[in-house]
Structure 1
């Protein structure tokens, strides 16, 4: 029998961030993940944009100083409305990080670099036990502890169990928490490009029929300006694009970015992700809290996904730190209910808001596309709406 304060199921970026953040407050952590400890070198150059509130959480976790040098600053968030089949920008809205208190929106970091930095941080901590190639096979919540059976046959008793095991969370299912999921017949094609024109630390999101096409700044690659691409298109179109050569794909994305960056060159392998949204009916059960993709899944618009996860983590961390300070139970039902009261309404609103934005980006009828254009124009040119957009954009 292993006894600990917190057991975290899921060793992705969110799960490891949670482990580092909770450990910084002195909690004993066991974290388990089905992946092996050797993550390999690989060629995956996909990225995550860490926005300002999430960066504060990573600072508290003691890992941001290692992550930051691997990424590129996001100084401006640019939204371009390009109508439907047209290839001419109709409205360009620049939201400048200078309008925020820190002077920037965030940093774009490769997933691999973030994972390496987090693994190194956890390896330094005496109060973190990271168990690779291990899954949760059974869970039971009681009035005193959460009891978890691991795939290696061991049993762990924790004051609280954190489900960070993804959109298909087995812990969520074991706890009997239902969820709603819906699809869009849309996929995101993800890869990296180099280009001639510098990105100037501007993240560019182009909207036209089918979904947004986003280029997010990265550090230079082989001496050339570099950006990560998230190209959301109808599922059949994603399959077609994924099947063509790098040269042909380079030509297609150069065409669809309207030459804003000059000629683009595909510089990495590709991945295709079917687009869904998902939200659970609850965020807690006895001795269990859901975070990250077990708690919410959204299309990759506005870099909200992982930053929502870091907000989950910070909310829980603050509640548990207060309980620990007063000698109270960090997994007690009143504490978990407080977490749910704070996070579930925000989660539902943000998932719904991103769903609406995604559907708006897919508009085909001209009247609806013109309505989207009018909305962007209003946000760009009306001061209070602009300030609200910036506040929402940074995840507040």
Structure 2
């Protein structure tokens, strides 16, 4: 029998961030993940734009100083409406980080670099026990503790069990929490490009029929400006793009970005990710809290996904810190209900809002594309709407 304060299932970026954040407040943490200890080079080509609230959580976790040098600052969020297949932008809206209290929106970091930094941090923490090649095979929540069985045969008793084990969460299923999932017949093609023109720390999201095409600043590669690409498009076209050679794909993305960056050159392998959204009916059960993709899945629009996860983690951390200070139970039902009251309405609103934005970005009929254009124009030129867009964009 292993006893701990908190058991976290899932050792991805969210799970490791949660472990570091909770450990910083003095909790004893065990974290388990099915992956082996040697993560190698990995195949995840995605990057994450950490927005300011998420950065504050990583600072509290004591890991941001290690992550920050591996990424690029996001000073401006640029949204471009390109209509259907127009070759010049119809409307360009720049949301400047200078209009925020921090002076920037966030930082774009490769997922691999974030994982390496987080793992290195956890290895230094005496109150964190990281078990690789390990899964949770059963879970029961009681009035006193959560009891989980592990794939190695051990039993863990924890005051709180945190499900950070992804969109297909086993812990969520063990707790009988239902969820709703819907797909878009749309995929995201992800890869890295270099270009002649500097990105000037501007994240550019181009909306045309089929979905947004986003280029996010990265540090220079081989002396050339570099950006990560998330190209959301109908599933059939995503597969066609994926199958192209680098020269042909470079020409396609140069065309679809309207040569805004000059000629683009594919500079990495590519991967395809099917697009879905997902929400659960509840965020809690006895001694269990859902965070990250166990709690919400959204298309990669506006860098909301992992930043929503960090907001889950911070909300839970603050509630537990208050309970610990008072000598109260960090896994009590009252605390978990407070977590759900704070997070579930926000989760449903964010998932619903991103769903609407994604569907709007996929519009094919001219009248609907013109409606999207009118909406962007209004946000760009009407002060209160612009301020609201900046507030939402920074993740608040």
| 1:65-214 → structure 2 map (5 Å cutoff) | 65-214=65-214
- What's the CA shift for 1:45? 4.0
d(CA) in 1 for partners of 2:97 and 2:42?
A: 33
Which structure 2 residues correspond to residues 281-320 of structure 1 after superposition, within 5 A? 281-320=281-320
Aligned-pair CA distance for 1:3 = 0.2
> CA deviation digits over 1:276-315, x for unaligned, max 9?
0000000000000000000000000000000000000000
C-alpha distance in 2 between matches for 1:372 and 1:276: 22
CA contact (8 A) 2:45 2:190 kept: no
* Post-superposition CA distance 1:323-352 (Å, at most 9, x none): 000000000000000000000000000000
- What is the 5 A alignment of 1:343-362? 343-362=343-362
Structure 1 Cα separation of the partners of residues 256 and 229 of structure 2: 12
DSSP-derived class of the 1:161 partner: strand
Shift of 1:202: 0.1
- What does residue 220 of structure 1 align with? 220
Aligned equivalent of 1:18: 18
**Greater mean alpha carbon deviation, residues 41-50 or residues 143-152:** 41-50
Q: Distance in 2 between matches of 1:240 and 1:113?
A: 29
Give the drift of 1:249. 0.4
2:340 matched to 1:337?
no
Aligned partner of residue 212 in structure 1, secondary structure: strand
What SS does structure 1 have at the residue aligned with 2:211?
Answer: coil
Deviations 1:117-150 (A, max 9, x none): 0001000000000000000000000000000000
Aligned residues: 396
Tell whether 2:326 aligns with 1:323: no
- 1:54 alignment partner, SS class: helix
Alignment pair present for 1:374 and 2:379: no
Backbone CA RMSD of aligned residues: 0.6
Q: Deviations over 1:230-261 (max 9, x none)?
A: 00000000011001101110010000000000
Q: Deviations over 1:26-47 (max 9, x none)?
A: 0000000000010113465421
Q: Which runs of 5+ in 1 are unaligned?
A: none
Give ranges in structure 2 of 5+ residues lacking alignment. none
Deviations 1:252-278 (A, max 9, x none): 000000000000011111110000000
8 Å contact kept, 1:78–1:203 = yes
The answer on whether the counterparts of 1:44 and 1:269 sit within 8 Å (CA) in structure 2 is no
4+ residue runs of structure 1 moved beyond 3 angstroms?
Answer: 42-45
Comparing 40-49 with 306-315, greater Cα deviation is found at 40-49
Residue number in structure 2 paired with 1:29: 29
| 1:389 paired residue number | 389
SS at match of 1:237: helix
Separation in structure 1 between the aligned mates of residue 263 and residue 198 of structure 2, nearest angstrom? 12
Displacement, 1:87?
1.7
> Residue 162 of structure 1: SS of its match in structure 2?
strand
Task: Give, in whole Å, the separation in 2 of the partners of 1:375 and 1:345.
Answer: 25
Shift of 1:8: 0.1
Q: Does the Cα contact within 8 Å between 1:43 and 1:268 map onto a contact in 2?
A: no
Q: For 1:168-192, what per-residue CA distance to the aligned partner results, in whole angstroms no more than 9, with x for missing partners?
A: 0000000000000000000000000
| Alpha-carbon distance between aligned partners in 2 of 1:188 and 1:296, rounded to the nearest angstrom | 18
Q: For residue 220 of structure 1, report the CA deviation from its aligned partner.
A: 0.2
Q: Does 1:270 align with 2:277?
A: no
> SS of 2:315's equivalent?
helix
Cα separation, partners in 2 of 1:43 and 1:197, compared to 1, 3 Å? farther
